[in-house]
């Protein structure tokens, strides 16, 4: 709640996030005195004393249904969409820490996924999450001593041994539930919202949950050192810092303020970040967690940062007058071994519908003209003469990219209309109805590249090992849950067969590995894929 001089935080019902004041040490004393009086008057610590160690307490999800979907299927589908849209980061070393925003998923989820994407295929057994406290002020750092944290995707056990090591390693860390439980009717969200991303990317892991009541530089240094000492030479522990940047400025002002934090973090200069937060040159409600994570990772040998996402809430709402800033990043130890990524697989031959270059160009033109027609509030007018190959009743997906990043993707397997009409309809759906992205505007249409996938009918398979990565698309269904990924997706993401199957399950709102269940139906299809690029 107070971090290096933050003011009391207030809830924004519009964005589902909290609004901090400036990061100003000169206001720390006055703000702390006022807050101590408020805490005493409200008895916020009643029943939750510092130093308590209730190892049987299971912390339930308290912001599910508000900051992110409360239904497991809906949440899994949303996360699968975020991960699918995020490019695989290219690093020259193994990730050691992640910085990610903690606002409502519809505002910052895609930016967070751009960092968490690096965890796909990784094997981290423990994740240490450091977050600020928005709901209650207390001295030092609260290390959760309960049994587990729970999200709609399942229970995450607490690593008690490492939690106790961190607490024993510094006087600023206390094992307690304060900052983790509800306080005065308010619930802390900054740590909880990170967990479903890790559950999606890592599967099983244990948790060390740290909430900072104080975010002064001395506390950050002490916490960072204690975390580094507890990790030691282990390479299976990840650190996550939870933070948003500036709050409720115009987009231009937010960009100016947030660019300072971006520069300091990108240059791995936590001392400069602390100074700039203190002087008000930049803002971050989780500045303390970021500094602590940078100190810990740096102590362990990290020397590089990759900024993976940067933006503000207006990117999704369209309202640039009053925004919240977001950043995601990966901290790692650079090596000379080359890029740390999965090599792209070689594509296999794809379906052939007899579409020559002329027919493909016509479809691409139709897709763009359909989007333009919608933007101009007019009906789509098709060419009077159409190649016979385009009059076949075929399913199709239309995928939009902007500067290489996914901008929309919607399609249909239903072959109820001629291909050219299906493409026009799906182009408009991808541009204006993909829930993961704001609608395409007239101004940005020139930056959009269009890709079309013409689909074969689906064939059910019984053996998952028969899925051909690079040739087959996947459709997975169980009960009312269903999800699809196109043949090009595993190639773009560098997935093997099992990862491809797992992510299609996630897209369907099913847990990874559900494709092994005999009640899960598996279908494959092929596609003829072509684009403007």
Q: How far is CA 487 from CA 89, 348, 462, 525, in A?
A: 21, 10, 19, 8
Residue 493: its pLDDT value, please? Answer: 82
Closest-CA residue to 525 (of 470, 493, 482, 487): 487
Residue 230: which H helix or E strand, with range?
Answer: helix 217-231
Task: Quickly count: other Cβ atoms within 10 Å of residue 518's Cβ.
Answer: 6
Residue 51: its pLDDT value, please? Answer: 39
Domains detected in the chain: 10-46+54-332 (3.40.830.10), 357-531 (3.30.1490.150)
Between CA 341 and CA 443 the distance in angstroms is 34
- Segments of the chain scoring below 70 in pLDDT: 1-53, 182-186, 336-350
User: What residue spans of 399-529 are helical by DSSP H?
Assistant: 419-432, 488-493, 497-507
pTM above 0.85, yes or no: no
Q: Are 355 and 389 in contact (CB under 8 A)?
A: yes
Token pair of 518 as six digits: 């005999």
Map tokens 């709640």 to a residue.
1
Residue 372: its pLDDT value, please? Answer: 97
- Residue pLDDT, tens place only, 137-148: 899 999 999 999
Closest-CA residue to 486 (of 392, 404, 413): 413
Between CA 429 and CA 360 the distance in angstroms is 20
Residue 108: its pLDDT value, please? Answer: 96
What does the longest C-alpha to C-alpha distance in the chain come to? Answer: 79
Between CA 39 and CA 20 the distance in angstroms is 18
Closest-CA residue to 404 (of 85, 80, 81, 78): 85
Length of the chain in terms of residues written: 533
Residue 16: its pLDDT value, please? Answer: 38
Between CA 261 and CA 60 the distance in angstroms is 33
Cα-Cα-Cα-Cα dihedral sign, residues 80, 290, 141, 244: negative
- Residue pLDDT, tens place only, 307-326: 999 999 998 888 889 999 99
Residue 364: which H helix or E strand, with range?
Answer: helix 357-375
Between CA 396 and CA 399 the distance in angstroms is 10
Token pair of 145 as six digits: 């001593």
Residue 511: its pLDDT value, please? Answer: 86
Residue 336: its pLDDT value, please? Answer: 57
Cross-strand bridge partners of residue 409:
399
Between CA 48 and CA 148 the distance in angstroms is 17
Residue 494: its pLDDT value, please? Answer: 81
Cross-strand bridge partners of residue 17:
12
DSSP letters of 65-109? TTTB-SSHHHHHHHHHHHHHHSPPP-BSS-EEEEEE--S-HHHHH
Q: Which residues contact residue 395 at a Cβ distance below 8 angstroms, ignoring those fewer than 6 apart?
A: 411, 412, 413, 414, 415, 422, 454, 455, 457
């Amino acid at each position: 709640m107070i971090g290096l001089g933050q003011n009391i935080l207030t809830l924004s019902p519009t964005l589902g996030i909290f609004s901090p004041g400036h990061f100003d040490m000169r206001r720390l004393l006055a703000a702390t005195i006022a807050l101590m009086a408020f805490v005493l008057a409200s008895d916020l610590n009643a029943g939750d004393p510092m130093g308590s160690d209730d190892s049987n307490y299971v912390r339930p999800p308290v912001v599910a249904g508000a900051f992110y979907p409360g239904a497991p299927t809906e949440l899994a589908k949303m996360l699968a969409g975020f991960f699918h849209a995020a490019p695989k980061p290219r690093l020259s070393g193994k990730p050691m820490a992640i910085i990610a925003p903690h606002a409502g998923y519809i505002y910052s989820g895609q930016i967070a996924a751009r960092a968490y994407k690096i965890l796909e295929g990784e094997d981290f057994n423990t994740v240490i999450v450091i977050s600020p406290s928005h709901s209650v002020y207390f001295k030092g750092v609260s290390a959760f001593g309960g049994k587990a944290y729970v999200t709609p995707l399942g229970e995450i056990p607490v690593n008690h041994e490492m939690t106790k090591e961190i607490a024993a390693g510094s006087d600023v860390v206390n094992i307690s539930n304060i900052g983790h439980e509800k306080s005065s009717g308010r619930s802390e969200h900054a740590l909880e919202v990170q967990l479903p991303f890790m559950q999606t990317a890592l599967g099983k892991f244990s948790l060390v949950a740290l909430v900072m009541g104080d975010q002064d530089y001395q506390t950050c240094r002490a916490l960072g050192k204690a975390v580094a000492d507890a990790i030691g030479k282990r390479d299976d522990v990840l650190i996550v810092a939870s933070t948003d940047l500036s709050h409720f400025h115009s987009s231009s002002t937010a960009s100016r303020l947030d660019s300072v934090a971006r520069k300091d973090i990108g240059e791995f200069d936590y001392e400069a970040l602390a100074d700039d937060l203190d002087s008000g040159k930049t803002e971050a409600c989780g500045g303390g967690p970021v500094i602590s994570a940078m100190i810990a990772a740096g102590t362990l040998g990290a020397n590089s940062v990759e900024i993976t996402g940067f933006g503000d809430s207006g990117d999704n709402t369209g309202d640039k007058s009053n925004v919240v800033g977001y950043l995601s990043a990966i901290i790692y130890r650079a090596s000379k071994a080359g890029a740390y990524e999965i090599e792209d697989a070689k594509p296999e031959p794809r379906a052939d519908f007899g579409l020559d270059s002329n027919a493909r160009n016509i479809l691409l033109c139709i897709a763009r003209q359909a989007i333009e027609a919608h933007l101009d509030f007019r009906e789509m007018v098709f060419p009077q003469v159409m190649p016979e190959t385009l009059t076949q009743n075929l399913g199709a997906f239309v995928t939009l990219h902007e500067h290489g990043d996914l901008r929309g993707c919607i399609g249909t397997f239903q072959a109820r209309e001629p291909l050219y009409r299906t493409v026009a309809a799906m182009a408009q759906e991808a541009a204006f109805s993909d829930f993961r992205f704001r609608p395409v505007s007239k101004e940005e249409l020139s930056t959009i590249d269009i890709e079309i996938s013409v689909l074969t009918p689906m064939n059910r398979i019984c053996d998952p090992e028969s899925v051909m990565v690079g040739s087959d698309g996947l459709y997975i269904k169980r009960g009312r849950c269903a999800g699809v990924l196109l043949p090009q997706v595993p190639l773009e993401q560098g997935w093997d067969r099992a990862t491809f199957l797992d992510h299609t399950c996630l897209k369907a709102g099913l847990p990874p590995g559900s494709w092994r269940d005999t009640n899960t139906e598996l279908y494959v299809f092929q596609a003829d894929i072509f684009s403007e690029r």
